[in-house]
Amino acid sequence: MKERTAIDQLVEDLFRHESGKMVAVLTGILGAENLLLAEDVVQDTLIEAIKNWTYKGVPDKPKSWLYKVAKNKAFNILKRKLHHQKYISETSYLLQSEAPADSLEKLFSEQAIKDDQLRLMFMCCHPSISKDSQIALILKTLCGFSIGEIAKAFLSNNENITKRLVRARKTIKTNQIPFVVPPENELVKRTDAVLEAIYLLFNEGYSASQGEEVIRQDLCKEAIRLVEIIIEHPSIPENTNAFALLALMQLNTSRFNAREDEQKNIITLEFQDRSIWDYELMEKGFQHLNKASKGEFISVYHILASISAYHCSAKDFDSTNWQGILHLYDKLLELDNSAVVVMNRAIVLSKVEGVEIALEALKQIKNDKTIRSNYLFHTLFAEFSFQSNLKHQAIDSIKRAIEFAPIESEKRMLTQKLILFSQEKNTSMSL
């Protein structure tokens, strides 16, 4: 049983890392109109891996095994379609070559995979597809999100997400959307939808919505890799959102080494060992933020990256420029007046103007539907209440936080807070 569980976990990890790459290449081979077929081939490959590895053991190079099986399945599909003379594709010439398998091998080279992933990003985000469907499609095909994970990202349900994906694939087929990188005059505008999907991927890794791990570093690294593919394109200017988002992700990721203890519990910024931050990655983040700041346009990513830069540049927690960060949050509210931004701003507000004023700010959004089940909101409300000597309100709020916390380790941490609150002991603020 343990061996089967280990195999399932391995396949799940490979699916997260490799499915988007395989779908991208297979879409290039089978045609954009056969996107769902490409997804099905990848899914069949993973199912076959579980069956095969359970009885024969995991191969020495499981990733290579997956790619080989996927290539063989694509090769067989091309042969059948060509045989029935119902398939015309730029890749059909592969079957006419002396060594079609070798030709297919070239399509799975590292550079070819990157090129096809970039094409898939822009195909999924074609203007004829609705914005919500664009993001859902790219999260599903390129990032390997499950229907449930996408539903949580959209605060929706599985049925609605499934409908969006069906409509998006139908639009690709009906409108014959090409599997290409758009021309330069459309590139920057089309990139924004891609970046939004990648940012959702990063956020899922930064604060996981399911499983045992609070931080999924693999997802964060994958998000960084996808943006790096975008900025490598020669037509992407340095002052675009892509560089700002990359800076934000690199600056946040640079602090990951100090963000968890050995038991995978979150360590708040105040108590992190800054000597184990990844300063090499942090420097890359500063460089990309500098490039992103050369233009006049300022996006949400620019502001969030600048906030992260303040935290990274402070020599210790006490020397953090909270006033500067609060100013940035005020600017952010002009672009995104959401309850989540108000909640995060309240943390900074407590440092500048005190917890009582911060608590009043939280009260203004407590009935917002997007925040009612947010365990971080209830945790913050509880801590501000406790520090304001509102013990019963603090206990009620921390109980709601425990109820909504998605990760068991966080439920345990919040339970400890509940005990401390009940014993009338003060606690430090979470960041």
Q: In the predicted model, what is the mean pLDDT of residues 202-212?
A: 69
430 versus 34: which is more confidently predicted? 34
Are both 414 and 391 inside the same structural domain? yes
State whether residue 266 is helix, strand or coil: strand
Q: In the predicted model, what is the mean pLDDT of residues 221-226?
A: 88
User: What is the C-alpha separation between 69 and 30, in angstroms, rounded?
Assistant: 16
Model confidence over 350-383: pLDDT tens digits?
999 999 999 999 999 999 988 888 999 999 999 9
**Residue 272: inside a domain, yes or no?**
no
Q: Which of 70, 89, 108 is the last residue of a domain?
A: 108
**Residue 126: inside a domain, yes or no?**
yes
Are both 143 and 58 inside the same structural domain? no
Are both 117 and 142 inside the same structural domain? yes
Are both 156 and 99 inside the same structural domain? no
Q: Which of 188, 205, 222 is the last residue of a domain?
A: 205
Those residues whose C-beta lies under 8 Å from the C-beta of residue 327, and which sit 6 or more positions away, are none
Are both 126 and 73 inside the same structural domain? no
Number of domains in the chain: 3
Are both 98 and 169 inside the same structural domain? no
Are both 84 and 158 inside the same structural domain? no
411 - beta bridge partners?
none
8 versus 104: which is more confidently predicted? 8
First to last CA, the chain: 40
Burial class from Cβ neighbours inside 10 Å (0-12, 13-18, 19+) for residue 301 reads: buried
Domain that holds residue 370: 321-431
**Residue 81: inside a domain, yes or no?**
yes
Q: Name the pLDDT band for 106 (thresholds 50, 70, 90).
A: low
> CATH number of the domain that 345 lies in?
1.25.40.10
Q: Which of 108, 125, 159 is the last residue of a domain?
A: 108
Are both 326 and 428 inside the same structural domain? yes
Are both 125 and 98 inside the same structural domain? no
Are both 132 and 72 inside the same structural domain? no
Give the highest mean pLDDT range of 145-149, 177-181, 311-315.
311-315
Please give the pLDDT value at position 429: 43
